[in-house]
Amino acid sequence: MAVTTLPPIPTTEPPPAPDAASFLTEAKIGPRDGARRTAVIAMSGGVDSAVTALVMRERGYRVVGINLRLFSPGDAAHRANPCCGIPAMDDARATCALLGVPFYAVNMETEFGEAVVDRFVEEYAAGRTPNPCLECNRHVKFRHLVQRARLLGADCLATGHYARVVPGDTPAGRPHRLLRAVDPTKDQSYVLHTMTQDQLGFVRFPLGALRKTEVRTLARHFGLPVADKAESQEICFVGKRSYADFVAARRPDVTRAGEVVDGGGRVLGAHRGLVHHTVGQRRGVGIAGPEPLYVLRLEPAANRLVVGPRREAAALSLRAEAVALTDGAWPEEPFPVEAVVRYRGAPTAATVSLGVAGGGEATVSFHGEGPVASPGQAVVFYRGDEVLGGGTIREVATGT
C-alpha cells in the first residue's frame, strides 16, 4: 500500500517581534550629539513624551524631565484633565525614575488659563472655532517652557510631537525647516506652524521619523511604565465632558435658543444654542431636507444658525490674520501652496497673497472647489511635506 505524505501542519506562531534596536538608529532618532549637553523634556505622562526622554538619553544627552501642571479640575478623580492632572504627573515621575533622570513639576495654570482656556471660551462665544492645542503650543510650550529650559541652562527642549525639523545654518544662511512627521496618522505639524526660527533651532522632535507602533515597541522593550497607556483623545481641560457644556458653564448666554435659517434667510427650525454648532458640521443640525445640510456660518449678534448644502459651504477664498511664515520672510508676490484648514485635513491647492509687511494678514484663494473652513481655526500653508507658515482664519467667502 502506498504511503501518503501529509502536508505539514501550518504554524500559528506569531511573526517575530521587531527588534527595538532597529528603531534607535540615527536615521530614526537623530544624531547621537548629546555628549556634555542637556535636554529638557516636556513630560505629559503619556507614552510619546516618555519615549522622547528615552530617545534623548540614548542620544547621549543629560535629560531633565519637566511636567506642566496646566489645569486643576474640581473632581477628585481628575476626570476632566487626563493628560496634565496629578495622575499624569505621577506617570511622568515614574518614567523619569525608571530612566534615572531628574524630574520637576512646574505650575503653569495661570499662563494656560489666560492663553488657552479663556481664549477657548471667548472664541466659541463669538461664534468661532478655536484650536486650543495650537494656542498651548504657541503660548505655553514654545514660549514659557522654552524660557524655563533656557533658564536651566539646557541646550534644547524636546517634546513628543510628531513632526520633523531640518536644521539650517542660520543666522547667516539656510533657515530651519519644519516638515510633516513620517507617520501620517500622527502628524502634528498643523499645530506647530507658529514656531519661529529661534524656536525651531532650540526644540527637538525625536519622534518625527518614528511610527506610533515603533514608539510603543521601544516603550515596551525598555519597560516604561506607560508603554500601554491609552491615548487621550479629548481636549485636555474639557475631558469627557462636551466642549459645549464646558463653555456654557462659563458663558451661560451661549445656550440661548434661536432660529435655524437657510442662506436666503428662510426659517427652517430652531437651535438650542450656537455653542453646540461649528462651521462645516453636518450631524446634529436637526433639520431634515432633500440633501444633507451643513452649518454655513454662525451669527452671534442675531443668534442665528445658517445652514445649506455642501456646495454652499465650500470656501472660494478666506482672509487670515496673525499670519507668519516659518522662514521669517514676507514675499511681495502671491505664491502657490497646499492649504490645510483643519487638523489632519486634506490639502487643497491655493494661492496666498500677503498683505502689507508687518500686518500679519493674507488672502487665500482656492483652486476649484475649496474646503469647508471655520473662522477661528488655522489655515496652514504646505509645499509637499514642508510647512511654510499659516495664520488664523478671520472670515470665509463661499458661494452663498
- The structural domains of the chain, ordered by start, are 37-221 (3.40.50.620), 256-312 (2.30.30.280), 314-398 (2.40.30.10)
Confidence of residue 8 (pLDDT cuts 50, 70, 90): low
95-99, 150-154, 240-244, 334-338, range with the lowest pLDDT: 240-244
Q: 17 a known binding residue?
A: no
C-alpha grid cell, residue 76:
477628585
Q: 153 a known binding residue?
A: no
Question: Across 9-18, 53-62, 99-108, 275-284, which has the greatest mean pLDDT?
Answer: 53-62
Q: What radius of gyration, in Å, describes the C-alpha atoms of the chain?
A: 24
Q: Which of these is catalytic: 83, 96, 133, 136?
A: 136
Q: Is 231 exposed, middle or buried (0-12, 13-18, 19+ CB in 10 A)?
A: exposed
C-alpha grid cell, residue 278:
461649528
Confidence of residue 21 (pLDDT cuts 50, 70, 90): confident
Q: What pLDDT is stored for residue 53 in this prediction?
A: 98
**Active-site residue 136, yes or no?**
yes
**Can you tell me the distance from the alpha carbon of 127 to that of 275, in angstroms, rounded to the nearest whole number?**
7
Q: 76 a known binding residue?
A: no
> Higher-confidence residue: 84 or 228?
228
Q: Is 50 helix (H, G, I), strand (E, B) or coil?
A: helix
Which residue type sits at 259? E
Residue 147 has pLDDT above 70, yes or no: yes
> Higher-confidence residue: 54 or 358?
54
The sign of the torsion formed by the CA atoms of 355, 357, 360, 365 equals: positive
Helix axes 243-250, 118-125, angle to 10 degrees: 90
Counting residues of the chain whose pLDDT is more than 70, the rounded percentage is 91
Q: What are the helix (H) ranges across 190-313?
A: 197-202, 212-221, 243-250, 310-313
Q: Is 381 helix (H, G, I), strand (E, B) or coil?
A: strand
Kindly state the average pLDDT of the residues 292-313: 91
Which residue type sits at 4? T
11-25, 174-188, 296-310, 382-396, range with the lowest pLDDT: 11-25
Kindly state the average pLDDT of the residues 99-115: 90
**Can you tell me the distance from the alpha carbon of 380 to that of 337, in angstroms, rounded to the nearest whole number?**
9
Q: What pLDDT is stored for residue 258 in this prediction?
A: 92
> Higher-confidence residue: 12 or 230?
230
Q: Decide: 53 and 43 in contact? Cβ < 8 Å.
A: yes
Q: Is 25 helix (H, G, I), strand (E, B) or coil?
A: coil
Counting residues of the chain whose pLDDT is more than 90, the rounded percentage is 61
Confidence of residue 1 (pLDDT cuts 50, 70, 90): very low
Confidence of residue 112 (pLDDT cuts 50, 70, 90): confident
Residue 5 has pLDDT above 60, yes or no: no
Mean pLDDT estimate for the chain: 88
Q: 49 a known binding residue?
A: yes
Q: 74 a known binding residue?
A: no
**Can you tell me the distance from the alpha carbon of 215 to that of 221, in angstroms, rounded to the nearest whole number?**
10
Q: 48 a known binding residue?
A: yes
Question: Across 125-129, 153-157, 256-260, which has the greatest mean pLDDT?
Answer: 153-157
Q: Which of these is catalytic: 84, 96, 133, 236?
A: 236
Other CB atoms within a 10 A radius of the CB of residue 322 amount to 14
Q: 42 a known binding residue?
A: yes
